[in-house]
Amino acid sequence: MEKIYITTAIPYVNGKPHIGHAVDYCLADCYARYHRLKGDEVRFQAGTDEHGNKIAQKAKELDLPVQDYVNENANKFRDFIKKLNVSYTDFVRTTDESHEKRVQEIWRRLSDHIYKAKYEGWYCTGCERYVTKKEFDETGGVCPDHQKPYEELQEENYYFRVSDFKDRIREAIVSNEMRILPEFRKKEILCLLEESPDVSISRPVSQLSWGVPVPDDPSQVMYVWLDALSNYITVIGFPDAKDFGEWWPANAQFVGKDILRFHAIIWPAMLIGLGLPLPQNLVSHGMVLCDGQKMSKSIGNVVDPIEVLESHGLDAFRYYFLRHIDTFADSDFTWDKYEEAYNNELANDLGNLVQRLATLADKNQIVISRDNNSRLSDEYIALMDGFEFSKAFDLVWNKIQELNKRIDEEKPWSLAKNGEIEKLKTCLHNLIDGLLTAVYELSPFIPDAAAKIIDIFSGKITTPKVPLFPKNHN
The smaller minimum CB distance to Zn ion, of residues 259 and 272, is found at 259
The smaller minimum CB distance to Zn ion, of residues 124 and 442, is found at 124
What's the closest the beta carbon of residue 398 comes to Zn ion, in angstroms? 46
Q: Is 285 a catalytic residue?
A: no
What's the closest the beta carbon of residue 306 comes to Zn ion, in angstroms? 27
Pair type for strands 288-290 and 293-294: antiparallel
User: Which amino acid, 94?
Assistant: T
216's CB contacts (< 8 A; 6+ apart) are none
2's CB contacts (< 8 A; 6+ apart) are 35, 40, 41, 251
Judged by CB under 5 A, the chain residues 109 through 128 that form the site for Zn ion are 124, 126-127
Q: Is 124 a catalytic residue?
A: yes
Given a contact cutoff of 8 angstroms between Cβ atoms, the answer to whether 168 and 113 are in contact is no
* Number of neighbouring beta carbons within 10 Å of residue 393: 25
78's CB contacts (< 8 A; 6+ apart) are 48, 91
In this chain, which of 72, 145, 156, 291 binds Zn ion, going by CB under 5 A? 145
Q: Is 263 a catalytic residue?
A: no
The smaller minimum CB distance to Zn ion, of residues 145 and 455, is found at 145
Let me know if 18 is exposed, middle or buried by CB neighbors in 10 A (0-12, 13-18, 19+): middle
| Rounded (5°) CA angle 452-389-333 | 85
User: Is 131 one of the binding residues for Zn ion (CB under 5 A)?
Assistant: no
In this chain, which of 6, 143, 221, 269 binds Zn ion, going by CB under 5 A? 143
Q: Is 127 a catalytic residue?
A: yes
What's the closest the beta carbon of residue 143 comes to Zn ion, in angstroms? 3
What's the closest the beta carbon of residue 289 comes to Zn ion, in angstroms? 22
The secondary structure of the chain in percent helix, strand, coil, rounded to multiples of 5, reads 50, 15, 35
The conformation of residue 48, written as its DSSP 8-state character, comes to: E
User: Is 146 one of the binding residues for Zn ion (CB under 5 A)?
Assistant: yes
Given a contact cutoff of 8 angstroms between Cβ atoms, the answer to whether 251 and 232 are in contact is no
Q: How many residues lie near Zn ion (CB under 5 A)?
A: 6
Residue nearest Zn ion (C-beta atom)? 143
- Choosing from 82, 101, 294, 411, the catalytic residue is 294
User: Is 64 one of the binding residues for Zn ion (CB under 5 A)?
Assistant: no
The smaller minimum CB distance to Zn ion, of residues 126 and 215, is found at 126
- Choosing from 26, 124, 290, 427, the catalytic residue is 124
- Annotated active-site positions, please? 18, 21, 124, 127, 143, 146, 294, 297
Positions that interact with Zn ion (CB under 5 A): 124, 126-127, 143, 145-146
